[in-house]
Structure 1
Amino acid sequence: MKNTTFRQLRVFTEVARHLSFARAAESLHLTPPAVTMQIKELEDNVGLPLFERSGRKVSLTTAGEYMLVYARKILATLKDAQDAAARLKRVEVGQLTIGMVGTAQYFLPHLIGQFRQEYAGVETRLVLGNHDQLLRMLQGGEVDIAVMGMPPKELATRTEPFAANPLVFVAATDHPLLNIGHPTPSALEPYGFIVRERGSGTRAAMEKFLQNTRLQPRVVMEMSSNEAIKQAVMAGMGLSFLSLHTIGLELQHGLIARLDVEGTPVVRAWNLVHTLSKVLSPAAEAFRYFILERGEGFLAERFGQLMPFATPPAKS
């Protein structure tokens, strides 16, 4: 259970209190996929199921009942520590370099803006790169902390999920596949794909999904920019696979269409990542705590209307 987080314990106790994932999500101002993701992460860490699910009915397992006792003790102790820290708290100052993958640019700058309002003494610098580039930056100490989708396996890192990241297939608004209400993955095979460059977490997630369905995408174009991909899709040049967080405006204005392909959305997690060898500065710790506490709520408020589903997050 060494990877268990306080966030997981908070979500667990709230689901146990309501015996409802939906009501817990509402109480915590989260989306149902985020609650599902946190519970699944906790169950994976514990190695046992904590809830029994029968339709909409949810009940604690024996392991869940034991865990609830300890979770409440842990959270009560944490509250005491937070109260003590509040009396000793000082304003964080210093420099903070944050790395982010391209897809995070649609929400992270807004969160950083809110962070800076509360921590005016922190000088923040934002660095953009794909998954592989951010790994090199973390390894080289070029960034203090990174926001990415696919958890890194190549480095010894602390990886903390803070929000759900749903990925979907998209097409032009007049694409013939839209005439099929719920197409199977095999229905995509005749069409060309516009994809992110190799080294991108979005590209890797798409390829894994298609491999699991025994499909090989026919790549007609490769781009390193989500904006360029969206323009190409809207122009009818091919299908693509993108995070819902990148296409909010286009969906709201009817400029791009989401394909309701069987097995999608593929719900992964947004993660905060830093190397275990790096001791975080007070500024970085303040940012880490801020994102873990506020990130999912912000995304739920901004994109929640685009996510009417509760699909469990995919294994990375």
Structure 2
Amino acid sequence: MNITFRQIRVFVEVARQGSVARAAEALHLTAPAVSLQIKEVESQVGQVLFDRAGRRMGLTTAGEYFLVYAKRLLATLKDAEDAMARFTRLESGRLTIGMVSAATYFLPLLLAKFRAEYPAVDVRLRLGSRDQLGVMMQANEVDLCIMGRAPRDLPTRAEPFAMHPHVLVVSPQHRFARAEAVPVAALASEPFIVREPESGTREALQGFFDSHHIQPTYVMEMPSNEAIKQAVMAGMGISILSLHTIALEWANELIAAPAAEGLPLVRRWNVVNTAAKHLSPAAEAFRYFVLEHGEAHLASMFGGEFGLGARAG
């Protein structure tokens, strides 16, 4: 097969986006150019790789198999590019960073500061759960990740750079909002709105209850911190969330974070990469930047050791 790496990148992006138009936007190409590349790949492979349903592009069985090998080829090419860059120590090129959803509240501003120092680096972001980011790291689809606890069953280097407090959050109209301190036993009878079981926030919450021998009442599971915040503000239940996800609502008194026994749960933010990966100069520059500036950046955004002020009580 006479397929170029450019065509492979186009194929992988269309598979990821499920749309020619969105893939074209991500790749800074025109939609006809992307369609032409896909037709060329299918011609070279000798198989139909996508099912076309209107504007949606779904992989065929052959396409699913080909995607596995396409990702392997791109991962190998990325390793080669990183190895060559280390010879010249060029802090340029593409840097792909994975992040969990809670990091979206501070990482873009930190990246803006990084780009000001390293304007030649083309930064891309990938969002996912801890397990999803583990798969991306293993496939060499991301260089580094910003997350709490590193993925299970994957040898990684995880370096902490800042504290990551989790606090009790309630509606401003909830009786806890006016309490000086909420005893942990009082939480047992409250309806909790929680993240999905595989999330780090849910894991921390369950660990907190287990340590206090409390059987909580989970009334709703939601896939995002934003959804949980809206439900809490509407008075549908209470939750324990990362302090870094509620700053805007808390500052505007749309949500309350009362002091509670045993809280905040203090986890750590980590910059993570697979143990076997040799980082490119751009990735190393970002790693050092986060380790040096990450804690001060979070403190400037959220204030204090934990960001807990007078309204916490």
TM-score bucket of the superposed structures, by smaller chain: 0.5 to 0.7
CA–CA separation in structure 1 for the residues paired with 2:264 and 2:273: 28
1:246 aligns with 2:245: yes
- Structure 2 residue runs of 5 or longer lacking an equivalent are 1-87, 309-313
The sequence identity of aligned pairs, in percent, is: 54
TM-score w.r.t. structure 2 length?
A: 0.68
Aligned to 2:4: none
Aligned to 1:272: 271
For 2:290, the aligned partner's letter is I
For 1:142, the aligned partner's letter is E
Aligned to 1:167: 166
Deviation at 1:260, TM superposition (A): 1.1
For 1:283, the aligned partner's letter is A
Deviation at 1:284, TM superposition (A): 0.3
SS at match of 2:257: strand
Deviation at 1:308, TM superposition (A): 5.8
For 1:162, the aligned partner's letter is F
CA–CA separation in structure 1 for the residues paired with 2:209 and 2:277: 37
CA–CA separation in structure 1 for the residues paired with 2:215 and 2:108: 35
CA–CA separation in structure 1 for the residues paired with 2:198 and 2:135: 12
**Superposed, which structure 2 residues align to 1:152-191 within 5 Å?**
152-191=151-190
1:120 aligns with 2:109: no
CA–CA separation in structure 2 for the residues paired with 1:113 and 1:209: 35
Residues 256-302 of structure 1 deviation map (CA, whole Å, 9 limit, x = unaligned): 00121101101110000000111100110011011111100111111
SS at match of 2:197: coil
Aligned to 1:192: 191
Residues 126-160 of structure 1 deviation map (CA, whole Å, 9 limit, x = unaligned): 00011111111112211110000123342111110
Aligned to 1:284: 283
Q: Note if contact 2:167-2:240 (Cα within 8 Å) is conserved in structure 1.
A: yes
Q: Count residues in correspondence.
A: 222
Moved more, 202-211 or 131-140: 131-140
Larger Rg: 2
Residues 6-49 of structure 1 deviation map (CA, whole Å, 9 limit, x = unaligned): xxxxxxxxxxxxxxxxxxxxxxxxxxxxxxxxxxxxxxxxxxxx
1:226 aligns with 2:221: no
Moved more, 180-189 or 102-111: 180-189
CA–CA separation in structure 2 for the residues paired with 1:257 and 1:149: 24
Residues 101-147 of structure 1 deviation map (CA, whole Å, 9 limit, x = unaligned): 00000000111111111111111110001111111111221111000
Deviation at 1:306, TM superposition (A): 7.9
For 1:167, the aligned partner's letter is H
- Structure 1 residue runs of 5 or longer lacking an equivalent are 1-88, 310-316
Give the aligned CA root-mean-square deviation in angstroms.
Answer: 1.7
CA–CA separation in structure 1 for the residues paired with 2:160 and 2:305: 20
CA–CA separation in structure 2 for the residues paired with 1:200 and 1:218: 18
Aligned to 1:96: 95
For 1:243, the aligned partner's letter is S
Q: Note if contact 1:248-1:306 (Cα within 8 Å) is conserved in structure 2.
A: no
